[in-house]
Amino acid sequence: MATRRTFIKVLGGGAALLMTPAEKLAGLSLPGEDPTTFAVVRGGDPAAAVRKAVDMLGGMGSFVKTGDVVFVKPNISWDRRPEQAATTNPAVVETVVAMVREAGASRIIVADNACNEARRTYKTSGIREAAERAGAEVPFMEKRKFRMIDLGGEVMKDWEVYTEAIEADKIINLPVAKHHGLSNVTLSMKNLMGLIGGRRDLLHQKLPECVVDLTAFFKPALTILDAVRLLRVNGPQGGTLGDVVRLDTIAASTDQVKIDAFGISLFEGAEFDTNPLSFPHVRIAQAKGLGSADFRGRGYAEIKL
Degrees to nearest 5, angle at CA 80 with 74 and 81: 90
Instruction: Indicate whether 1 pLDDT > 80.
Output: no
What is the rounded average pLDDT of the residues 223-229? 98
Query: Mean pLDDT lowest for which of 22-31, 86-95, 201-210?
Result: 22-31
Domain presence at residue 27: no
Domain presence at residue 28: no
Instruction: Indicate whether 92 pLDDT > 50.
Output: yes
The CA R_g of the chain, rounded to the nearest whole Å, is: 18
One-letter amino acid for residue 186 of the chain? T
Q: What is the pLDDT of residues 281-304, one digit of tens each?
A: 999 999 999 999 999 999 999 999
Burial class (CB in 10 A: 0-12, 13-18, 19+), 204: exposed
Instruction: Indicate whether 277 pLDDT > 70.
Output: yes
Sequential DSSP letters for 12-28: T--GGGSPPHHHHHHTT
CA nearest to 193, candidates 255, 263, 114:
114
Domain presence at residue 19: no
Mean pLDDT, the chain, rounded, equals: 91
What is the rounded average pLDDT of the residues 235-263? 96
What is the rounded average pLDDT of the residues 100-112? 98
Domain presence at residue 160: yes
What is the rounded average pLDDT of the residues 202-230? 96
Give the C-alpha separation, 21 to 57, whole Å. Answer: 9
Domain presence at residue 87: yes
Question: Which pLDDT score, from 0 to 100, does residue 13 have?
Answer: 40
How many other C-beta atoms can be found within 10 angstroms of the C-beta atom of residue 287?
A: 9
Place 12 in a pLDDT band, splitting at 50, 70 and 90: very low
Q: Write down the pTM of the prediction.
A: 0.91
What is the rounded average pLDDT of the residues 210-214? 97
Give the C-alpha separation, 42 to 18, whole Å. Answer: 32
Place 205 in a pLDDT band, splitting at 50, 70 and 90: confident
What is the rounded average pLDDT of the residues 237-257? 96
Three-state SS string over 125-173 comes to CCHHHHHHHHCCECCCCCHHHEEEEECCCCCCCEEEEEHHHHHCCEEEE
Distances (CA, A) of 123 to 26, 82, 90, 129, 144: 40, 11, 11, 7, 22
Domain presence at residue 289: yes
CA nearest to 113, candidates 193, 15, 53:
193
One-letter amino acid for residue 158 of the chain? D
Give the C-alpha separation, 285 to 190, whole Å. Answer: 12
Give the CATH number of the domain where residue 129 resides: 3.40.50.11440
Question: Which pLDDT score, from 0 to 100, does residue 35 have?
Answer: 93
Question: Which pLDDT score, from 0 to 100, does residue 273 have?
Answer: 95
Query: Mean pLDDT lowest for which of 30-44, 184-198, 279-293?
Result: 30-44
Place 55 in a pLDDT band, splitting at 50, 70 and 90: very high
Domain presence at residue 20: no
Structural domain boundaries, residue 75? 4-10+36-304
How many other C-beta atoms can be found within 10 angstroms of the C-beta atom of residue 133?
A: 12
Q: What is the pLDDT of residues 120-159, one digit of tens each?
A: 999 999 999 999 999 999 999 999 999 999 999 999 999 9
What is the rounded average pLDDT of the residues 165-186? 96
Instruction: Indicate whether 63 pLDDT > 50.
Output: yes
Instruction: Indicate whether 18 pLDDT > 60.
Output: no
Give the chain's domain count: 1
Place 5 in a pLDDT band, splitting at 50, 70 and 90: low
Domain presence at residue 31: no
Place 27 in a pLDDT band, splitting at 50, 70 and 90: very low
Q: What is the pLDDT of residues 148-167, one digit of tens each?
A: 999 999 999 999 999 999 99
Question: Which pLDDT score, from 0 to 100, does residue 204 have?
Answer: 87
Question: Which pLDDT score, from 0 to 100, does residue 6 have?
Answer: 54
